[in-house]
């Protein structure tokens, strides 16, 4: 090989090296080289879930790149051996006529790493799940299971990314891939039912939703089922909102009136506060420590007696209380007629709970009022465990008007002229909006 041929070989080798996708390794993965058929379908499975990745999707993950390679043993298929992809003077300097006879056009597939990762992240949102503890019920004084425990599942995105990249770059005509995932065991399963220490009712709470419209009753029933059979560990802080989950049509709720940002308006889940109020009362009478509770903006008859309600809204306000008993607490719910009951089962540790109130401490002409009650809990030896006072302040319900609701025709004596002016303006705006919304 003479000097010009040596230089020619070096330059072509150098150009081939820098034009290959090595520099793109951070976000691309090189595929197999050659003329194999593209991927038609990939079928992936995660546990019991299976879905197909169409050829339209996989084709978007791949880009093709062509390079010229020099090989002394390869005879070029180019008809024009003087063809130069760059400047002709450069080719004349670097490539001899003989070298041009040994150039090969090579196609290389490059996989888009970020696109494949985005697919796996979307898939994870479909298949990932939290572990679910077994749910129990009390039948004839015996605790039994009515919902089996379920393992949690987390898709292994990092390892599956490499698996899918390899699959799309090896170009099979069809491939089934079992993706990797991690399982997380629930804390409570059926086998532990006899170790929970659940032996008796430690407290109950009730409320009456008589007069509720159909959608409100429906939402109360849907939300109530979320809490039936729930277990609260000793020392655990229970969050009503955490167990509630999503509140929308997809999860079975209907639009109904809710108090929100100074107005009463329809929204999915109206009526859920009937459930949180009942749970609050059960926690109070069970002698549990309340760590978060907020009363409603104005008094609502469904929550009589006033002063013992608890409003919730995702993500807050929330109802929270601490299981300060020595055993698990099992929540049982039931609806008889229009009466909702929360029963807390656990271990009777000898504590005694007394509730003084609720008492209306102030009442205004416009319906605003204040109420208060005291929860006193003592242990089996009479030692005070809890003494909490719950004060509730309710605004006038007329300050939260809604179409079809009651209205005032005379200014309440405790309202200023400015308040009365704003109230009449609100009614006027509401009437205009209602009329505009009619077909």
Convert the pLDDT of each residue in 119-149 to its tens digit. 999 999 999 998 887 777 766 656 666 667 7
What percent of the chain is modeled with pLDDT above 90? 48
pLDDT digits (tens, 9 = 90+) for 232-271: 999 999 999 999 988 888 888 887 777 655 566 677 778 9
Residues 353/399, Cβ–Cβ less than 8 Å: no
Show the tokens assigned to 53: 């990745």
Mean pLDDT score across all residues of the chain = 81
State yes or no: pLDDT of 343 exceeds 70.
yes
With pLDDT > 70 as the criterion, what percentage of the chain qualifies? Answer: 73
pLDDT band at 195 (very low <50, low <70, confident <90, very high): low
pLDDT at 115 over 80: yes
Task: Report the range of poorest mean pLDDT among 70-79, 101-110, 192-201, 380-389.
Answer: 70-79
The reported pLDDT for the residue numbered 304 is: 95
Predicted confidence (pLDDT) per residue in 11-29, tens digit? 444 444 434 333 333 344 4
* Residue 74 banded pLDDT, cuts 50, 70, 90: low
What is residue 6's predicted lDDT score, i.e. its pLDDT?
A: 46
Integer Cα distance of 169 and 63 in angstroms: 11
User: Residue range 157-183: average pLDDT?
Assistant: 84
Indicate if the pLDDT at residue 439 is higher than 90. no
Q: pLDDT tier at 86 (50, 70, 90 boundaries)?
A: low
Quick one: pLDDT at residue 245?
85
Q: Is the pLDDT of residue 197 over 50?
A: yes
Other Cβ atoms closer than 10 A to 177: 16
44: its two tokens: 């992936």
Greater model confidence, 97 or 47: 47
């Amino acid at each position: 090989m003479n000097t010009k041929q040596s230089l020619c070989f070096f330059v072509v080798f150098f150009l081939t090296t820098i034009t290959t996708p090595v520099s793109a390794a951070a976000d691309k993965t090189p595929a197999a080289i050659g003329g194999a058929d593209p991927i038609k379908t990939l079928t992936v499975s995660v546990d019991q879930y299976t879905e197909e990745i169409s050829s339209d999707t996989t084709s978007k993950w791949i880009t093709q790149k062509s390079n010229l390679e020099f090989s002394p043993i390869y005879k070029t298929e180019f008809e024009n051996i003087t063809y130069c992809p760059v400047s002709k003077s450069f080719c004349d300097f670097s490539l001899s006529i003989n070298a041009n006879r040994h150039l090969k056009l090579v196609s290389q597939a490059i996989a888009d790493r970020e696109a494949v990762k985005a697919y796996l992240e979307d898939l994870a949102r479909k298949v990932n799940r939290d572990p679910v503890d077994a749910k129990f019920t009390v039948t004839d004084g015996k605790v039994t299971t009515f919902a089996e425990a379920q393992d949690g599942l987390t898709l292994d995105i990092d390892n599956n990314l490499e698996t899918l990249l390899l699959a799309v770059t090896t170009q099979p005509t069809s491939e089934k891939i079992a993706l990797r995932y991690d399982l997380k065991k629930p804390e409570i399963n059926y086998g532990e039912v006899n170790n929970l220490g659940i032996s008796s009712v430690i407290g109950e709470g009730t409320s009456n939703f008589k007069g509720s419209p159909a959608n409100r009753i429906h939402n109360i029933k849907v939300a109530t089922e979320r809490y039936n059979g729930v277990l609260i560990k000793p020392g655990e802080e229970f969050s009503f909102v955490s167990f509630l989950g999503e509140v929308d049509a997809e999860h079975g709720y209907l639009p109904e009136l809710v108090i929100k940002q100074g107005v009463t308006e329809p929204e999915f889940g109206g009526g859920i506060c009937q459930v949180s109020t009942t749970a609050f009362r059960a926690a109070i009478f069970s002698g549990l420590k309340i760590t978060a509770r907020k009363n409603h903006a104005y008094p609502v008859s469904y929550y009589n007696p006033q002063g013992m309600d608890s409003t919730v809204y995702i993500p807050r306000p929330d109802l929270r209380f601490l299981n300060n008993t020595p055993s698990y607490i099992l929540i049982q719910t039931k609806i008889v007629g229009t009466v909702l009951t929360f029963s807390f089962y656990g271990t009777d540790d000898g504590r005694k709970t007394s509730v003084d109130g609720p008492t209306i401490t102030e009442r205004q002409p416009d319906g605003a009022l204040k109420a208060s009650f005291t929860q006193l809990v003592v242990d089996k030896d009479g030692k005070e465990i809890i003494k909490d006072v719950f004060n509730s302040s309710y605004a006038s319900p007329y300050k939260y008007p809604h179409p079809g609701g009651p209205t005032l025709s005379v200014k309440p004596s405790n309202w200023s002229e400015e308040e009365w002016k704003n109230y009449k303006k609100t009614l006027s705006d509401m009437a205009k909006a209602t009329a505009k919304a009619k077909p």
